Structure 1
């Protein structure tokens, strides 16, 4: 089935996980083949879901550190995550197979607010409220590089892992050669907007042409990844409380999904900004929403997790 206005408008909850969490889901990630979804919650739990069977496959708790910003590595049994407490800023490399930490990554001196795994290599980047971006390698606990930003930095890789992007206030995006980041950014974009904005997440489209930026306001930006031009903004959702609300592309880049504080998920045409669907079903803020990279389904989370599938037959 193709992703179209009709199929998106028909999406309904195919599976609802009501009892798995007793606090909001703060992050989620699909494995690259679409077969697994991992979630992290403010109740200090990690849940692994089998997409093919629609079942909870494993539950792990991180009572000591809490868990946030969960990301799959290149192995479906290993994840990266950040702490979520008031005393530890380390990043951790966790084996889901036997619930053992394979490595700790220490260096940040304040809360980590952004984490991105390279799509091609065993490297990753992190951004922290200590106003630094750090580069790491899964194979060693030693920090491989550090960039000092003068604001809360949000980080991302492009789909080929060649470009390292940082979003910093005020309204600024900097792009680096991932292998020569120490030479400084090869381009800098300044986003024109009526007010200074605080970025909360940044994602490249699968074709590498666009960058999606969420903010603490009810505004999501779509910019051209080559020249920084603002192509579209999406505003028909609720974010009155400076919430961190995730937005994501569909795999074909044709649509953008975003969460909302009123318990809905909004879907827009990427280039025109036209809203094609609003999915209702959550009873509180939808902080996480992603489309499966390989299958015709999406996932969204408040304190409950919903799997969305089309309700029309494959034409």
Structure 2
């Protein structure tokens, strides 16, 4: 039998530059407000939309597996739990700010999480245990156990918070007011063990994320800044500038799986690619006027953008030449 040879690519700037939309779903009746890849079953993607729908995709086979409507509560943020058939999502109706644990298999609520009194703007699951954290414009961050309806902990903040667990679930970060506060998830009630300043940028925090290896963090702010920091020392490695976003929009960005590149949105609807150590790599224009959501698929040479449509970006092999080789 002949040995099967596989084509693999280094994630170099040239690979990023070659990326274009390879597939898109354009059947949304509203703007996509959130999306999440499952951390282990990475072929599953879930989205939330202003058309009050939650949709589950099998990315590998390019099909929408299920659409669930949340007409009563609306839907804003959504993320997978440890199971690819169970999600947590926040509402968007303005009168019930509970978070909900939903089974996608049978469209049944497994639990309600009550505690916030205004819109939830940030949500992050712990990679190791059944814990998650949520941040709200009611100026609180709540810590939850998926098995209990009541919050297990409360932290008060002085602004709109962006929250994220690290890759090990041992540390979580809360960003607001131009600073990132680092907490030990086992001793969060002791207060932050470190506080990092973000280069004098005190504009409203939008999104904070850790790289897959936990060594880097990125923070986006309303004024159109994308900061990359060393997550241990807190020093700023690079800052990228895009068009600021409106008060009701969110500037999102995502690390590549190896942490060498950042893909970000922009207030004018464009998509930017940055080399963490080397600056701007590419920019793709858009007729849109709001920043798209950005998620890099785990372990894949593909990222996804969400706006009024869901788009999957992959390298164009015909543009790569010598950058695609047999290994």
| TM-score normalized with structure 1 length | 0.94
Among candidates 243, 252, 259, match of residue 253 of structure 1: 259
How far residue 12 of structure 1 moved from its aligned partner, in angstroms, is 1.4
Equivalent residue, structure 2, for 1:207: 213
Among candidates 221, 224, 230, match of residue 224 of structure 1: 230
Structure 1: tracts of 5 or more residues without a match: none
* Mapped pair 1:124 → 2:132: yes
User: Take 1:16 and 1:261, find their aligned partners in 2: how far apart are those partners?
Assistant: 21
User: Take 2:109 and 2:14, find their aligned partners in 1: how far apart are those partners?
Assistant: 44
Q: Secondary structure at the match of 2:209?
A: strand
User: Take 2:13 and 2:258, find their aligned partners in 1: how far apart are those partners?
Assistant: 13
How far residue 284 of structure 1 moved from its aligned partner, in angstroms, is 4.3
User: Take 2:21 and 2:124, find their aligned partners in 1: how far apart are those partners?
Assistant: 29
User: Take 2:246 and 2:175, find their aligned partners in 1: how far apart are those partners?
Assistant: 21
Q: Secondary structure at the match of 1:127?
A: strand
Q: Secondary structure at the match of 1:89?
A: coil
User: Take 2:65 and 2:11, find their aligned partners in 1: how far apart are those partners?
Assistant: 28
- 8 A Cα contact 1:286 1:300, kept in partner: no
Q: Secondary structure at the match of 1:8?
A: helix
Equivalent residue, structure 2, for 1:187: 194
- 8 A Cα contact 1:282 1:302, kept in partner: no
Counterparts of 1:1-315 in structure 2 under 5 Å? Answer: 1-19=9-27, 21-32=28-39, 33-169=41-177, 171-193=178-200, 195-235=201-241, 237-242=242-247, 243-272=249-278, 274-280=279-285, 283-312=288-317, 314-315=324-325
User: Take 1:71 and 1:289, find their aligned partners in 2: how far apart are those partners?
Assistant: 14
User: Take 1:188 and 1:239, find their aligned partners in 2: how far apart are those partners?
Assistant: 25
Larger C-alpha radius of gyration, 1 or 2? 2
- 8 A Cα contact 1:209 1:226, kept in partner: yes
Q: Secondary structure at the match of 2:150?
A: strand
Q: Secondary structure at the match of 1:110?
A: coil
How far residue 202 of structure 1 moved from its aligned partner, in angstroms, is 0.4
Change (3 A) 1:284 1:304: farther
How far residue 240 of structure 1 moved from its aligned partner, in angstroms, is 4.6
Q: 1:138-159 CA deviation, whole Å, 9 max, x = no partner? A: 1111211111112222111110
Q: Secondary structure at the match of 1:37?
A: strand
- 8 A Cα contact 1:246 1:259, kept in partner: yes
- 8 A Cα contact 1:282 1:304, kept in partner: no
- 8 A Cα contact 2:224 2:251, kept in partner: no
RMSD of aligned residue pairs (Cα, Å) = 1.4
- 8 A Cα contact 2:250 2:291, kept in partner: no
| TM-score normalized with structure 2 length | 0.91
- 8 A Cα contact 2:162 2:205, kept in partner: yes
User: Take 2:215 and 2:94, find their aligned partners in 1: how far apart are those partners?
Assistant: 38
Q: Tell me the matched-pair count.
A: 310
Structure 1 outlier segments of 4+, above 6 Å: none
Change (3 A) 1:93 1:278: same
How far residue 13 of structure 1 moved from its aligned partner, in angstroms, is 1.0
